[in-house]
Amino acid sequence: MTGSPASSRTLIGARFDDRVTGKLSDFAPHAKIIHVDIDPSSISKNVQVDIPIVGDCRDTLQQFNDLLHEMPARDLTKIRGPWLETIASWEKEHPLTYTWSDTTIKPQYVIEKLWELTKGDAYITTEVGQNQMWAAQFYKFKKPRRLMTSGGLGVMGYGFPAAMGVQVAQPEAIVIDIAGDGSIQMNIQELITVVENKLPVKIAILNNSFLGMVRQWQQLFYERRYSSTPLAAPDFVKLAEAYGAVGLRATKPQEVEPVIKEALNTPRPVIIDFRVEPEECVMPMVPAGKAIHEMLLA
């Protein structure tokens, strides 16, 4: 979905579900909405749209591109300029941040160090949950097609096999699966695959001993009544070694950088078990039933 709140929003090949809209009555009240979908029953199903387009996404986007190519570059710059300036001002006024700790590893710090030590040149895959969101927020992607993630589909276990595929396609590249201690256990047995095929995939586990995203909701809205979210994970270092891979661990902030450097210098599959702050939350977030402008920032 793109466009400014005061101009237009475009939804292509997706539905306006509650995770996108928040409170329906307050969703983009000043915007004109364009919805492209191959299924006519999905258009205006939840949100009344101004311009309905029934068609295949590929064909429709190609026609959009043809129309844009017909416009002079100066006109596009003029149209986009104010909106890009608005976004830049938001980024300056409300930058992504977190509270530093001298004693506990913050997951955001791990992502920042991965970005710094790979010079932003790695291929990043993610599992699902907090690890996925922190990766998108704090790894500063500068090149296209460098983030492989399942988006909002919630596919726990996606990141590891995706990393294997990327490593096969890009054998000389640095490929890192940023995982949670829950998601990685969906198919961790595929360690045997990367070992047998000598794929030097790196798995960075943000190990908070929880199913973190669900725990975050329980923490913020259910007074820490944790139900089915605490995890008793295996010893990931020993597990890696059992499969013939390399296992590393960091439990303090000062251990993060040297452990990442060792992993990147190891031409074999590596699991890095980062023992991170258990109750760190991903921000911003929009509580259920609230509007976008009611998001929690901290």
12 and 37 within one domain? yes
Q: How many helices, marked H, and strands, marked E, lie in the chain? A: 10, 9
Distance CA 298, CA 281 (A): 9
Q: What is the pLDDT of residue 1?
A: 45
177 and 258 within one domain? yes
Is the CA virtual torsion 192, 195, 199, 201 positive or negative?
positive
Distance CA 281, CA 21 (A): 22
237 and 115 within one domain? yes
250 and 129 within one domain? yes
121 and 86 within one domain? no
Length of the chain: 298
Cis preceding-peptide flag for 284 (omega within 30 of 0): yes
43 and 116 within one domain? no
Q: Is residue 18 part of a domain?
A: yes
Query: Domain boundary residue among 73, 95, 117?
Result: 95
Q: What is the pLDDT of residue 7?
A: 54
Q: What is the pLDDT of residue 5?
A: 43
131 and 91 within one domain? no
pTM for the whole thing? 0.88
Distance CA 262, CA 276 (A): 19
Place of tokens 């040297």: 258
Bridge partner residues of 177 (DSSP):
125, 203
Q: What is the pLDDT of residue 6?
A: 47
CATH number at residue 138: 3.40.50.970
User: 31 is in which domain, residue-wise?
Assistant: 8-95
Q: What is the pLDDT of residue 75?
A: 82
Please report how the helices 130-138 and 107-118 are oriented relative to each other, as an axis angle in degrees rounded to 10: 50
Q: CB-hemisphere CA count at 13 Å for 24?
A: 9
CA 9 centroid distance within chain:
22
Q: What is the pLDDT of residue 196?
A: 98
Count how many domains the chain has. 2
pLDDT values of the chain reduced to their tens digit, one per residue, 298 residues: 444 444 566 778 777 888 778 888 898 888 899 999 999 998 998 899 999 999 999 999 999 999 888 888 788 888 889 989 999 998 899 889 999 999 999 999 999 999 999 999 999 999 999 999 999 999 999 899 999 999 888 899 999 999 999 999 999 999 999 999 999 999 999 999 999 999 999 999 999 999 999 999 999 999 999 999 999 999 999 999 999 999 999 999 999 999 999 999 999 999 999 999 999 999 999 888 888 888 888 8
122 and 63 within one domain? no
